[in-house]
């Protein structure tokens, strides 16, 4: 049973068209194992008909750790993972960071630039 459902709207890729596109749906289900957070493609026409509604990834938050699908990072291309999967994983992890009990990171990342050192 799905406890909550969320729409993921793309506001960047269609900005020039002044358009907001529903690309994904996130569902959160409570099970005996923990909270199952699932990302599905939307039924919007941005996806081909055979990909609409397709499950992309499902993670389980046990409260102590996150369980990833075993097949997530294995592939016939010797462990290579496409940018599309990384983007979809980013969506789920960002969602979990903002809404769940699992704060991933808050802060800043700064570039370290080499200092010019003078000997006197």
What phi and psi, each to the nearest 5 degrees, are found at residue 60? -115, 120
Residue environment code for 67-77, b if the CB has 16+ CB neighbours within 10 A, otherwise e: eeeeeeeeeee
At 46-81, the pLDDT tens digits run: 899 999 999 999 999 988 888 988 777 666 556 677
Render pLDDT for 3-55 as a digit per residue (tens, 0 to 9). Answer: 999 999 988 777 777 788 899 999 999 999 999 999 999 999 989 999 999 99
Predicted TM-score of the model (pTM): 0.78
* Range 100-105, long-range pairs (CB < 8 A, 24+ positions): 100/35, 100/37, 100/61, 101/61, 101/63, 102/61, 102/66
């Amino acid at each position: 049973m799905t406890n909550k459902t969320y729409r993921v709207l793309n506001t960047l890729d269609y900005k020039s068209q002044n358009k907001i596109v529903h690309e994904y749906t996130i569902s959160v289900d409570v099970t005996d194992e923990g909270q199952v957070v699932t990302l599905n493609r939307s039924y919007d026409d941005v996806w081909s008909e055979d990909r609409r509604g397709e499950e992309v990834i499902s993670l389980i938050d046990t409260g102590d750790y996150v369980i990833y699908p075993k097949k997530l990072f294995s592939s016939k291309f010797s462990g290579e993972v496409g940018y599309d999967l990384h983007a979809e994983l980013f969506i789920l992890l960002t969602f979990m960071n903002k809404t769940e009990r699992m704060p991933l990171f808050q802060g800043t990342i700064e570039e370290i630039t080499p200092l010019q050192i003078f000997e006197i």
